[in-house]
Amino acid sequence: MATLSTSTSPKRYARIVGALYLLIFFVGPFAFFMGRTGVVVPGDPTATIDNLLASETMFRLGMVAETVIVLVEIVVSALLYVLFRSVSRPLSLAAALARFAQSILQAVNLLTAVPALLLLGGAGYVAAFEPEQLNALVLLFLDVNAFVIIIWGLIFGFHLLLLGYLVYQSGFLPRILGILLIIGAVGYLAQSYGHLLAPQYDEILATVVIVLSIPGELAFTIWLLWKGVNDEQWEQPPLQPAAA
């Protein structure tokens, strides 16, 4: 059985996770909708370039916001492992590693945003390119960025699937939260695989992931902040032990 230090209870860890989740809820839309993805106009390269040039500060602030999310996600990964290792160490570790991998991929994805800014920044070396070539390269980097988001969304969906199962089996959190998280995982997985197999339905899939994921993640956040976990129940074995 996993144990925590006497100075920090599972309830305190749970509330810290809830607070960090809440931070992600506030920072996330700024990073992904008001920042980089907000400048892209599908099917209109000229408008996309114009938006980027006119909103460079917002674009950079979106990148800063995403770095905040990356750092928060690393901490959340570790704390969730501590909270759920009493349910199943292997599955809790797998869930933590999946979330950690997703955060690292988010950080790496910033490398696709920086070249877009450099190409439009007027540095001397860009004189080797014609305007049409510069625009094409910028759009290429933005498209790669969007694709990597789909890939880390796939990894995050796998994390949610494992987390939902751990919550369901835990005995110290309501099983309905686990079910909602698993439904959210289905949304992320559907969006990622749907983009790979049928990209023409991207707009529908984007709506699906929002509808399926927000209720579970929001309910999980509110419960952790409001109730946390019961320390005594946390110390007990799961009602139906997961695979050891």
pLDDT tens figures, 51-108 = 777 777 888 888 888 899 999 999 999 999 999 998 999 999 999 999 999 999 999 9
pTM here? 0.85
Asked if pLDDT for residue 181 goes beyond 90, the answer is yes
pLDDT for position 93: 97
Asked if pLDDT for residue 6 goes beyond 50, the answer is no
More confident residue, 51 or 227: 227
21-60 per-position pLDDT tens digit: 999 999 988 777 666 666 776 666 677 777 777 777 888 8
More confident residue, 159 or 230: 159
Q: What is the mean pLDDT of the chain?
A: 85
| Band of pLDDT at residue 244, cut at 50, 70 and 90 | very low
pLDDT for position 123: 62
231: Cβ–Cβ under 8 A, 6 or more apart, which residues? 9, 10, 11
Asked if pLDDT for residue 182 goes beyond 90, the answer is yes
